[in-house]
């Protein structure tokens, strides 16, 4: 790549056109208008909580992928949706992509919130406002890469201040895409703000406003870095005013996005305006899909469902400890059964598995089939026997629980156990009390066997 000191000497900056000179030709807005009406109707009938959730998700969609377009991190649709909808464990999913991802996302989100606030209050876009937007959207970015003849170098990023060095990139074919020279940046930004305040611009269609503001700003590239993120947020202010959505460009639309901008560079802005309109319609579609759901949200429904099924054990460490306790209990039961003198006609087993429901004790949560096991005795001769004791290990779910873990059957208060007795290894005290408790369960099983045998004989 050619060093930035030389790129502007080989490239030629073409000033962005005045708004009245932006030749769009025919511009069909029928689809846009129909979707805008659908969105307005959906908002009118939506519950306040559902509307807030949908609009927040739309803003988060825009914020997630705006950084990915610039190569700050990588995304896929699953990742983007998880973060945008704040699905389960979204913070952990984000952290897995690198510690730098969340700060960049939160900066972008703050930028879109700033834009929404300005759109709601009908703030007039000024140079100061754009500088503040840049400062917000690049809030955690300390440096940016400068390409010199000696190679790439990291320089401090002057947030909210115009560039002091050329930033025109050299393309892969050796051509230079020239942005405004440093000396022209201030007058070009002043001209841009004047255009955005002109009567012709103010009366234009919101998609045209968003497209022109975005494109003209990108032509200047006034800051050392972060210009793409600012451009997409700047365009969003006009779309937030009407129809009420941000400009959402997904990372996998990058090539189409850049091609449309390049067409505008060549004097044909229609592909870029159409791109912006299509992205706006898509954003409306995303929001409407969330508002078209009837009844309570999926998250609240699942929360209630979990409570109904008594699966309140949420602590992963406690759940794992409960499963381990179950395994120790099954092993101990098998050991004891093997040591007993049992009539050969009687089959007695201890096995993991869920063959029935053990009521969940107050204050505890089920850990699913992984926490269940059973003792069973069967015989077909000389007495028909089927005796069964269901047992399960539970984990503490709230402060009403007496201990961290509890192993219980239907017929007793259960065996209280603490994680410290299992981690890092099972304690001798646990081994002894577990052996005693299981011996009692086996004895209980044989009492039931005796009762059935006596009944069969009579």
Burial group, residue 209, by CB count within 10 angstroms (0-12, 13-18, 19+): buried
Q: Which pLDDT score, from 0 to 100, does residue 370 have?
A: 85
Give the per-residue pLDDT at 312.
Answer: 46
Alpha helices in 292-315 (DSSP H): 298-308
Q: What pTM was estimated for this model as a whole?
A: 0.68
pLDDT tens digits along 351-375: 999 888 888 898 898 887 789 999 9
Chain centroid to CA 157:
28
Please give the domain boundaries of the chain with CATH numbers for all domains: 4-300 (1.10.3290.10), 310-457 (no CATH)
Cβ atoms of 404 and 418 within 8 Å: the answer is yes
Residues of the chain with pLDDT under 50: 1-10, 310-313
Q: Which two tokens stand for residue 349?
A: 């087993």
Distance CA 458, CA 455 (A): 5
- Is the peptide bond prior to 382 cis by the omega test (within 30 degrees of 0)? yes
* Four-residue CA torsion sign, 200, 202, 203, 204: positive
**What local confidence, expressed as pLDDT, does residue 5 receive?**
33
Q: Which CA distances in Å does 457 have to 348, 381, 384, 454?
A: 20, 11, 10, 5
Supply 329's token pair.
Answer: 């209990």
In this structure, the dihedral spanned by the alpha carbons of residues 341, 347, 353 and 358, taken in order and rounded to 10 degrees, is -80
Contact indicator for 260, 272 with CB cutoff of 8 Å: yes
| Angstrom distance (rounded) from CA 112 to CA 249 | 13
pLDDT of residue 208: 97
CA 22 to chain CA centroid, Å, is 39
Nearest-angstrom CA–CA distance, 292 and 270: 32
Q: Residue 9's pLDDT is what?
A: 37
Q: What is the pLDDT of residue 398?
A: 86
Pairing of strands 385-396, 364-365: antiparallel
Residues 6+ apart with CB under 8 A from 76: none
CA distances from 375 to 136, 153, 181, 323, 386 (A): 63, 69, 82, 17, 11
Q: What is the pLDDT of residue 315?
A: 77
């Amino acid at each position: 790549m050619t060093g930035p000191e030389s790129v502007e000497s080989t490239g030629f900056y073409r000033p962005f056109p005045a708004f009245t000179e932006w030749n769009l030709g025919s511009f069909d807005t029928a689809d846009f208008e129909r979707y805008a009406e659908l969105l307005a109707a959906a908002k009118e009938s939506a519950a306040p909580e559902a509307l807030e959730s949908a609009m927040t998700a739309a803003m988060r969609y825009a914020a997630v992928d705006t950084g990915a377009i610039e190569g700050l991190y990588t995304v896929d649709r699953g990742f983007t949706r998880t973060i945008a909808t704040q699905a389960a464990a979204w913070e952990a999913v984000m952290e897995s992509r690198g510690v730098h991802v969340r700060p960049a996302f939160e900066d972008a989100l703050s930028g879109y919130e700033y834009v929404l606030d300005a759109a709601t209050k009908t703030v007039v876009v000024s140079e100061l406002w754009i500088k503040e937007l840049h400062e917000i959207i690049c809030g955690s970015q300390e440096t940016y890469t400068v390409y010199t003849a000696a190679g790439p170098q990291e320089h401090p990023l002057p947030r909210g201040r115009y560039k002091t060095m050329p930033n025109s990139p050299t393309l892969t074919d050796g051509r230079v895409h020239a942005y405004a020279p440093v000396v022209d940046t201030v007058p070009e930004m002043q001209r841009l703000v004047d255009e955005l305040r002109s009567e012709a611009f103010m009366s234009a269609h919101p998609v045209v406003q968003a497209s022109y503001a975005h494109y003209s700003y990108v032509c200047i590239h006034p800051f050392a870095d972060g210009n793409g993120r600012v451009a997409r947020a700047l365009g969003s202010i006009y779309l937030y005013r009407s129809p009420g959505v941000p400009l959402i460009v997904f990372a996998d639309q990058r090539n189409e996005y850049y091609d449309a901008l390049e067409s505008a560079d060549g004097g044909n802005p229609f592909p870029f305006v159409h791109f912006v309109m299509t992205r706006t319609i898509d954003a409306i579609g995303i929001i409407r899909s969330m508002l078209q759901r009837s009844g309570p949200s999926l998250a609240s429904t699942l929360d209630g469902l979990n409570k109904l099924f008594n699966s309140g054990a949420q602590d992963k460490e406690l759940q794992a400890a409960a499963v381990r306790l179950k395994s120790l209990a099954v092993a101990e039961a098998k050991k004891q059964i093997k040591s007993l003198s049992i009539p050969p006609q009687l089959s007695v087993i201890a096995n993991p598995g869920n063959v029935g429901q053990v009521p969940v004790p107050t204050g505890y949560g089920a850990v699913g089939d992984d926490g269940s096991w059973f003792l069973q005795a069967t015989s077909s001769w000389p007495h028909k026997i089927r005796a069964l004791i269901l047992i399960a290990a539970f984990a503490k779910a709230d402060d009403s629980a007496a201990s961290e873990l509890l192993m219980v059957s239907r017929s007793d208060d259960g065996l209280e156990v603490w994680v410290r007795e299992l981690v890092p290894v099972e304690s001798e005290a646990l081994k002894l009390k577990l052996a005693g408790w299981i011996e009692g369960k086996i004895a209980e099983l044989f009492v039931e066997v005796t009762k059935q045998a006596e009944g069969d004989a009579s």
